[in-house]
Chain A
Amino acid sequence: MEIPYNVEERPDTGLYNGKLGIWLFLASEVMLFGGLFSSYILLRTGDPNWFKPELSVPMATLNTMVLISSSVTMVMAWASLRLQDFKKFRLFSAATFLLACAFMVIKGFEYNTEFSHHLYPSSNNFMATYFTMTGLHGLHVLGGMVVIAYLWGPGSRMWKTEPERFTNRVEITGLYWHFVDLVWIFLFPALYLL
């Protein structure tokens, strides 16, 4: 028996199954990160002795550029499939993966610099929230990388048998990836600039 609405949109919701699923998941993610942002604001405004050490703004700036670029390559990958160009899809998704790798490497250098300055999650409230939020975000980037790598490699076999369903899979991965990038867009000014 074939599962309905895997490819075509369900008439009442206007969404196919995968897209409905990813939006429900992203709604839960909004609550997760929303809770963390709220905690950060309450901790910061409630502490008269709030201490924020110097962080590497240039490295965070570079990471912001890297993530914005990766969202562009992600959309290009999906658009290539819509235009039936599988070779370009592979090129753009490889670029997205490499940009995600670059983000993680830069973040690793940043953490290393902080540890060398004896800044740990136990140092103060700011560093605790900083490592929690950036660490959780990093895990989300890692999760996205696994999915992008799968769709680039073994998962791409579906293109030959069910091209529309494969294109939908790339679209929902793109939605997730944009959400992860959007979280960083809010993390960057909140943690590094303000």
Chain B
Amino acid sequence: MSLKAFHVLFIIISILLTALVGVWGVHQYVVHESGSSLALGGVFFFSGLGLVVYLLWYLPKLKEL
């Protein structure tokens, strides 16, 4: 596997992590009324969106290399 492919895999796993932490944050807020967990979930959710944008921007550029 090349660095290109491993990077794409890494970003996809990172996006899954951000989604997991986002769901965890909402769950913690619902069960324990933890505002800080909700904030953390929000940070990860928006980071995940950033990573999705990066993946969509980066993937087409990979073909040039």
Contact = CB atoms under 8 A, between A and B. Distances in A.
B40 A79 contact: no
B17 A185 contact: yes
A58 B44 CA distance: 11
Contacts of B3: 75, 78, 171, 174-175, 178
B40 A57 contact: yes
B20 A71 contact: no
Given A58-B40, A71-B7, A181-B10, A193 B24 contact: yes
B40 A178 contact: no
B49 interface: no
Interface in B4-52: 4, 6-7, 10, 13-14, 17, 20-21, 24, 40, 43-44, 47, 51
A58 B42 CA distance: 13
Interface in A137-194: 171, 174-175, 178, 181-182, 185, 188-189, 193
Contacts of A79: 65
Contacts of B43: 61
Interface residues of B, number: 20
Interface residues of A, number: 24
Contacts of A188: 17
10 contacts: A61-B43, A61-B44, A71-B10, A75-B7, A174-B3, A182-B10, A185-B10, A185-B13, A185-B14, A185-B17
B65 A189 contact: no
Given A57-B40, A78-B3, A193 B21 contact: yes
Nearest to A60: B40
A189 B19 CA distance: 12
Contacts of B44: 61
Contacts of A181: 10
A79 B61 CA distance: 10
Contact of B6 (A58, A175, A189, A193): A175
Contacts of B7: 71, 75, 174, 178
Nearest to A181: B10
A68 interface: yes
Contacts of B24: 189, 193
